[in-house]
Amino acid sequence: MTDRFTRKRDHIALCNDGEVGFRSHSGLFSELQFVHNAMPELAMDALDLRTKLLDSQLAAPIMVTGMTGGPEEAGEINRQIARVCQDLGVAFGVGSQRVITSEPDSLETFKIRSVAPDVALFGNIGINQARDMGVDVVRSLFAGIEADYMAVHLNPAMELVQPGADADSDFTDGYDTIKRLVDAFDGRILVKECGSGLSPQVIKRLGAAGVRAVDVSGGGGTSWVKVEALRAEGQQAALGETFAEWGIPTLAAVGLSRDIEGVQLVASGGVDDGLKAAKALAMGATVAGCARPVLQAFMRDGEDGAHSYLTTMISGVRMAMALTGVRTPAELNGVPRVIGPQLERWLSQVDTSGDKG
């Protein structure tokens, strides 16, 4: 067992049954309430959940965000959940493919095309690794799993806590790296955080670099700082506990950037049911994303469990649409809602101008 695979196995175990969620809030989803429409004047079969994410048509506005890969059991998780996504017509992302560069045989654990030939598939690599390995290596990782898009993850908070943090603590040349990747991949790039959120300043600069979609991956779901803190010792563990709740809450991250033109928003971080997904769409997201709840459903009841979970989430989005009187997910953006004081403070007090995120 290699050290790299040990980390991957730790991540699976901690995300499945560890205490790695936010304690102070769950993405501020309780701070948005829909105004009920008792006379929606529509038939359920008239609702159309189809949504376009980048260049792909989804059957519903849902994405299973970056999961795992590396050890053999991670390959089974990827394949079976990807098969569910294929059946339901939603997007799917693999975990970080960095491990392939040191463990080439692990490539097989990221391959899902044999079971999900039509799914909108997102590869995954960290920004620092993309910078250091160069475009050609990233392109080989992308081609190796026949991905449609490459997700580039940003995770400075997580990197500063994880064991061996010094190796990945150079965060320079990020925007130039993204620009090179956007050019090399003809715009098929999604930039995502890892549970700490994206500010409007960062999203604006990413948009200026040609990025067409981001996953805000806000605070409120899995705290990857907490995940790494549980793996760390001494000072790193203490820092992880201090910064475990760090980040921009998911609904705030979406609401603050909803009016940035040319950039689609995926909202993940605390999205664990269809009503929360609908709230994310109402705040301005194009697609709602989740990972840990799907993994937990899979670990409990296998592929059937993951299928049931995602089917229920999609049904929840459909029910929220019906009870607000809209026929498409995009129309949720305009329905009456009540915003609570915590979310309102974020939306009214955060300065969205300037260059720093």
pLDDT of residue 169: 82
Alpha-carbon span 171 to 133, nearest angstrom: 14
CA distances from 289 to 62, 65, 192 (A): 6, 6, 11
Alpha-carbon span 122 to 236, nearest angstrom: 31
Burial of 58 (0-12, 13-18, 19+ CB in 10 A): buried
pLDDT of residue 66: 92
Alpha-carbon span 121 to 99, nearest angstrom: 18
Domains of the chain by range and CATH?
3-33+40-349 (3.20.20.70)
pLDDT in tens, 162-200: 877 555 689 999 999 999 999 999 999 999 999 999 999
pLDDT of residue 258: 97
**Which residues of the chain register pLDDT less than 70?**
1-4, 7, 14, 20, 165-168, 357
Encoded tokens for 329: 């997910």
Burial of 102 (0-12, 13-18, 19+ CB in 10 A): exposed
pTM: 0.94
